[in-house]
Amino acid sequence: MDGVNMAEKLWDLANLITGFAVVQILATTFAMAKDELRTSLKGRAAHWTAFTVAMVFTAFYVTAIMWCGLKGSSLDDQKHSPVWSCVTAARVVAVVLFTVVGLGTLYGHRMDELRRQSTEVTDEVH
């Protein structure tokens, strides 16, 4: 397999990784926003675990995207290097941006859970 063909495969792989990462975080974000995870995402430990897992997966996705960009750029024509750099950076920004949105939703989910708990306690007192 020649270098240019492999560079194209790495370009496609980076696109697939980026797409998968974004879809995964969006699906999780919508599930939290629709309160579909109320029973499985409950309590401080569960929220911290979800935060940690999101960060680990994000680091994995970013590392894989950057590796594809660096390796693909080295196999492609040198004049395409700026394109590889720009698109790789944009892919990383997309994954990080959607992760931040997901983490914000996770924080909101936890705050809503605490608000519900305090409302239940207040209702029991009255």
pLDDT digits (tens, 9 = 90+) for 43-88: 999 999 999 999 999 999 999 999 999 999 999 989 999 999 999 9
Q: What is the pLDDT of residue 124?
A: 60
Measure the CA–CA gap between 89 and 62, rounded to whole angstroms: 10
Give the predicted TM-score (pTM) of the model.
0.87
How far apart CA 49 and CA 30 sit, in angstroms, is 18
Kindly compute the dihedral angle of the four CA atoms of residues 73, 75, 78, 79, in this order, to the nearest 10 degrees: -70
Whole-number average pLDDT of the chain: 92
CB 97 within 8 A of CB 109: no
* pLDDT of res. 41: 92
Whole-number pLDDT of residue 3 = 60
Spatial contact of 41 and 108, defined as CB atoms under 8 Å apart: no
Quote the distance between the C-alpha of residue 124 and its chain's center.
Answer: 39
- Amino acid at position 125, single letter: V
Among 118, 117, 110, CA closest to 32:
110
Residue in the structure block whose two tokens are 């992760």: 99
Q: Please tell me the predicted confidence (pLDDT) of residue 116.
A: 87
CB neighbours of residue 86 within 10 Å: 11
